Structure 1
Amino acid sequence: MSLPPPPDGDTPPRREDFARSADQIARQRSLLHQDTSRLRRVLRPSDITRRRRLVRWAKWALPAAALLLLSSIAVWPAIDRLVNMQRGALREMENLRVSSGNMLGAVYRGLDDHDRPFMITADQAQQVGPDRINLARPAADTLTQGGDWMMVSAAQGVYLQREQLLDLTQDVSLYREDGVIMTGVTADMDLRQGIIASDQWVHAEGPFGVLDAQGVLLSQHEGIAQFRGPGRLVLNDDAHAGPASHPSTPQAAQTEPSR
């Protein structure tokens, strides 16, 4: 099948279904120009200034955040210890119960004149006045001059918190780290000065032997123990050498405790 010859002249053939008017062409060119202008919008001076500020802020903020992160890693052990201490305090508070003005599981802590710590615990504490506290089954833990641990306990006690005085009565027992055990009826403790005194009969046993006396004065800071008679002292060497020594009536016996 042969195609019809082109018409005469230089004008190419046109299809009627693709024909566009001049208005349609102008409208299409206007739309294309608007889209191109929207994509290639020129930044205004305010936009450039805002972007510069953002870049300048990022230059300072990012290094500061990195330094903060490194600092937190460095101080984390201290934070962890502090958190553990707070947890320990919370556990102690959970063990405390207050009923009818009495506190169960009471704990008191302090420092003496030589900055050595002491602690008083009691099964039950009753606040009688602004300074006086009655204690049931009190126990006082202290340190001697040489750093040895010592505990004094009793059935009843009165604690004067402001003066740091502890008055113990009924079944008083003293335990020292070097093996000395002393029992008595009453004992007065000056926790601030580290002095324990009693004017009642006391019985002491330890590496030195056995001792009974009518009174005792212990000074932890000076490292001396003074007993007053009449009394009875049996040394370990005397016990091994022969019969027990006879009772004596010394006016005062002074021994130097081991350090």
Structure 2
Amino acid sequence: MSDLPPETTDTPVLPKPEPTEGTAASPRAERADFARPRSLMTRQREQLSAGNLRRAAPDSANLARRRTLLRRAKWALPAAAILLLGSIIAWPEVEHLLSANKTVLRELANIRIESGNLVGATYRGVDEQQRPFMITADSAHQINDNRMDLTNPVADILPQSGGWMLARSAKGVYMQHAHLLDLTGNVTLYRSDGLMMHTPMVDIDVRRGIAASDAWVHIEGPFGQLDAQGFLLSQHDGIAQFRGPGRLILNDDRHSTPDQSKKAS
């Protein structure tokens, strides 16, 4: 046997190709989601370990607080339900009051107070037959808690017969407690049946629907013309009385004939 060493076969190592000019070496591909810091991984393990621990049993103080909350909830929830139902039931009435207040505010917006006078005054009410009446004036000056002096007043009265009567004048005095309206200065009365009256003064009881005057009056209407020394109109009763001496001209008469004998009580 010879002492020659065994033959060894060396595998040739090929040299790595060098990048040619103009071609960049491609970087090593790595996943970015695995590149997490060690502190983040440690914190996640601690959170997972804490989630597996059992919850501690509540102590007596926590139990007492929970019982108190339950007792309060048993009273608070039914009370809230009752309040909600009550608000639903009362809402139509509340809405009606709100709309009425809006109407009053709109009327008050048209009213101005200048030098103690109420400009654009409006009085509303109902008579004995529960029919509405309204008195308006360009201005009103309050003398006391009962008397109001009016400028250019207009009274609108609805009688029981279904018609209407409107009275206007240059001045007026309205007694609020008694509902009496005294008109003076170029008084004109209109009625829905076509009757128109002119007189220097008239007293109107707006609650009873009665207008009366002791001054002269000139009346025109579908029947003709009438001049008298006084009159009384009852709108609710449908009565018209005139005090003579007077003169009546009917539409079918060709001339006027004074009548000194007819007098009405």
Of 217, 237, 262, the residue aligned with 1:251 is 262
Q: Aligned equivalents of 1:39 and 1:209: distance in 2?
A: 109
After the TM superposition, which residues 228-239 of structure 1 pair with which residues of structure 2 at under 5 Å, given as runs?
228-236=243-251, 239=252
For residues 52-87 of structure 1, the C-alpha deviation after alignment (integer angstroms, 9 at most, x for no partner) is 443454455445434433443443332222112111
C-alpha displacement of 1:51: 2.9
Higher CA-based Rg: 2
Q: What's 1:219 paired with?
A: 234
Q: What's 1:206 paired with?
A: 221
1:248 partner letter: D
Q: What's 2:5 paired with?
A: none
For residues 178-211 of structure 1, the C-alpha deviation after alignment (integer angstroms, 9 at most, x for no partner) is 3322221111112333321111222223344332
1:249 partner letter: Q
Q: Compute the TM-score of the two structures, normalised by the length of structure 1.
A: 0.71
Q: What's 1:183 paired with?
A: 198
Q: Which runs of 4+ in 1 moved over 4 A?
A: 34-39
Of 117, 120, 138, the residue aligned with 1:123 is 138
Contact 1:211 1:234 in 2 (8 A): yes
C-alpha displacement of 1:167: 1.3
Q: Which runs of 5+ in 2 are unaligned?
A: 1-45
* Secondary structure of 1:43's aligned partner: coil
Q: Do the aligned partners of residues 213 and 49 (structure 1) sit closer, same or farther apart at CA in structure 2, a change above 3 Å counting?
A: same
C-alpha displacement of 1:136: 0.6
Q: Aligned equivalents of 2:57 and 2:170: distance in 1?
A: 91
Q: Mean Cα displacement is larger for which, 89-98 or 63-72? A: 63-72
Does residue 136 in structure 1 map to residue 151 in structure 2? yes
* Secondary structure of 1:251's aligned partner: coil
Q: Which runs of 5+ in 1 are unaligned?
A: 1-30, 255-259
1:205 partner letter: E
Q: Aligned equivalents of 1:210 and 1:39: distance in 2?
A: 110
Q: Do the aligned partners of residues 40 and 130 (structure 1) sit closer, same or farther apart at CA in structure 2, a change above 3 Å counting?
A: closer
Q: Compute the TM-score of the two structures, normalised by the length of structure 2.
A: 0.70
Of 47, 50, 53, the residue aligned with 2:62 is 47
Return the structure number with greater helix share: 1
Contact 1:228 1:250 in 2 (8 A): no
* Secondary structure of 2:237's aligned partner: coil
Q: Aligned equivalents of 1:83 and 1:250: distance in 2?
A: 61
Contact 1:226 1:252 in 2 (8 A): no
